[in-house]
Amino acid sequence: MLRTRVIPALLLLNESLVKTYQFGKYRYIGDPCNTLRIFNELEVDELIILDIAATRTGCGPNFELLTDIANECFMPLCYGGGISEFDQAKRIFNIGFEKVSLNSSCFSRPELVTKLSEHYGSQAVIASIDVKKNMFGKYEVMANNGKVSTKRSPIEWAEELESLGAGEILLTSIDKEGTWDGYDIDLVKQVSEVVSVPVIANGGAGSVEHARQAVKDGNASAVAMGSCVVFQKKGMGVLVNFPEPSSLKGLSNDCE
C-alpha cells in the first residue's frame, strides 16, 4: 500500500519564502535555496512552490531563481505562479521541474491546460483552485490570489478542469489557510467525490492528524502543508521541519 503524499507547499514573494494567513498578511520564512536544502536533508518526497505575486505584478516566473531552486533540490518539484504561455511552462520543465500548477490562466486561457496536458502528460499539470465561503456560507472559486470571486462552484470548476486535461487538483481553502485548525473536510470531500484525478487538500494543516482526517474523511489523495512545516508551532518562530516517517505510517485512504 502506498503512503499518501505529504507535500510542503512553499510561497514565494520577491525572491523570499513567506507564509500567509488567509491569503493576506504574511511572515518572512527565509531564503528559498537555504530552506530547500533543509527539506533535502529531511528527505521530502515532493514539493510545491507557488509565487504569489507573479500573476498580480505581471512579471511572470522568475526563471533565474527557479533554476537555482531546481539545481538545489533532489525531490520532484511543482511550480505555479504567472504561467500564462506554453513557452513559459516549457522553460520551467526544461529547468528541471516535473509539474506546473495553473490557476489564473485556467480562467483566461483554459486551452493552455489542454495543450500542456497533451504535450507533457496530464500528470504534469496541476490545476489550482482557491475557494472561499461567501456571506451566505456558499463555496465560491476565487481568482487573482483570492481577491476576486468568479461566482463559480468549486465542484463544477473541478469537473471542468479535469475535462480540460488537468491531472491533479490543488484545492486550497482560503478561510482555513494559515489557521492551523485543520483542512476544510467538507470542501475536500465534495470535490474528491466528483473527479477521478487526485485531489491535494491544502489550507489549514496543523498536524499529521489533520492530514489523516483529510484523507480518511475527505477522500483526499494527497495533502499539502505550509505553516506546520516552516514554524515550530502556532504563534512561534521559523523552524523548517517535516513529520517523522513513523508518524506518517498508515496514512492512506485505504486503511481502516
Q: Is residue 184 among the annotated active site residues?
A: no
DSSP summary character for residue 1: -
Q: Distance between CA 171 and CA 188 in Å, rounded?
A: 7
Q: Let me know if residue 110 belongs to a domain.
A: no
Q: Let me know if residue 154 belongs to a domain.
A: no
Q: Which of 31, 51, 87, 130 is catalytic?
A: 130
**In total, how many domains does the chain have?**
1
Domain containing 222 equals 5-102+169-188+197-248
Q: Let me know if residue 160 belongs to a domain.
A: no
Tens of pLDDT, residues 67-118: 999 999 989 999 999 999 999 999 999 999 999 999 999 999 999 999 999 9
Using a pLDDT cut of 90, give the percent of the chain over it: 89
pTM: 0.96
Q: Distance between CA 170 and CA 182 in Å, rounded?
A: 16
Tens of pLDDT, residues 15-48: 999 999 999 999 999 999 999 999 999 999 899 9
CATH for 77: 3.20.20.70
pLDDT at 255 over 60: no
Tens of pLDDT, residues 126-177: 999 999 999 999 999 999 899 999 999 999 999 999 999 999 999 999 999 9
- Bridge partners of 79? 49, 100
